[in-house]
Amino acid sequence: SLEIEQTKKELELVKDNPKLKEIVLKKLNYLRISSYGDIDSDNIIRSPYDCILIEKQANEGDLIKANQSIYTFIINPETWIIAEIPVSYLKDIYIGKRVLVKTYNGDSFYSKIDYIFPNSDFESKTIKVRIKYSLKDSQIILPWNLPLEISILKTKTAIFVPIDSIINKGDKKIVFKKIDNNVFKPVYIKVNEYFVYNDEGYYEVVEGLKEGDEIAYSGVFLLDSEARIKGIY
């Protein structure tokens, strides 16, 4: 068509200017598709977004059909891995935990757990955690589903107590620690993460109890009038 021929002349005039050349090429490409349904082999089609290629469904020389997906891009390079971890490792898991993620093809990168899902899977005895994963930083492209080996680094010992054992007093929390046979003493505790396992809620205790301490499973039954009068709690 006349418009295509005019655009070809424009392309010749701007051939030494890469930016203008690309603009005219886009125009020429549009005109060719509109008129003939084909595209020039040396034309470049650029994505309108700053994104990362995660899947390629076609190669050079392949026949492309209408509406066929050729590439898959992700616009936001900040994404996450949802990993299922056995509950036996629960004492080693907390937000900010540094982990080493290894794929089966040998790639690996360091990251951190930034969220622990509150519910566990009773049948598989696993709990889900979210691991931050930056495509921009790691440059490791992961499929949507992939078995991962997660190395737990710098483990720590944690104490967990059932939520039913805790008495709330304003913004403070109290449990009854066993000090002798059938004798319990109220102690203040500080807690961190909350999660659910086997339909029961638990808190991580960061202050007030040590490993080996025994507490009353339910604190409510110890709240009698004598304790209230004495101001024990």
Question: Where is pLDDT greater, at 25 or 134?
Answer: 25
pLDDT in the model for residue 152 = 60
pLDDT in the model for residue 60 = 77
Mean pLDDT of 18-32: 78
pLDDT in the model for residue 209 = 92
pLDDT band at 225 (very low <50, low <70, confident <90, very high): very low
H or E element that contains 71: strand 71-74
Distance between CA 160 and CA 164 in Å, rounded? 12
pLDDT in the model for residue 188 = 92
pLDDT band at 228 (very low <50, low <70, confident <90, very high): very low
Q: What is the DSSP letter of 106?
A: S
Euclidean distance between the first and the last CA atom of the chain, given in angstroms as a whole number: 90
Looking at the domain that runs over 78-152, which CATH code has it been given? Answer: 2.40.30.170
Give residues with Cβ within 8 angstroms of 56, minimum separation 6. Answer: 70, 71, 72
- List, for residues 98-118, the tens digit of each pLDDT value: 777 776 666 777 778 888 888
- List, for residues 29-88, the tens digit of each pLDDT value: 777 766 665 555 555 566 666 666 767 788 877 887 878 888 877 666 567 788 888 887
Task: Please provide residue 199's backbone torsions phi and psi, each rounded to the nearest 5 degrees.
Answer: 65, 15
pLDDT in the model for residue 72 = 79
CATH topology identical between 78-152 and 159-230: no
pLDDT in the model for residue 229 = 36
Fold designation for 159-230: 2.40.420
- C-alpha distances in angstroms, 209 versus 48, 190, 216? 57, 9, 13
pLDDT in the model for residue 226 = 43
- List, for residues 115-171, the tens digit of each pLDDT value: 888 877 667 788 888 887 765 544 555 555 566 666 665 555 678 888 888 888 888
* Predicted TM-score (pTM) of this structure: 0.36
- List, for residues 163-210, the tens digit of each pLDDT value: 888 888 888 898 888 888 878 888 999 987 666 666 677 888 889 998
Taking alpha carbons only, the member of 219, 133, 95 closest to residue 169 is 219
Domain limits of the chain? 1-46, 78-152, 159-230
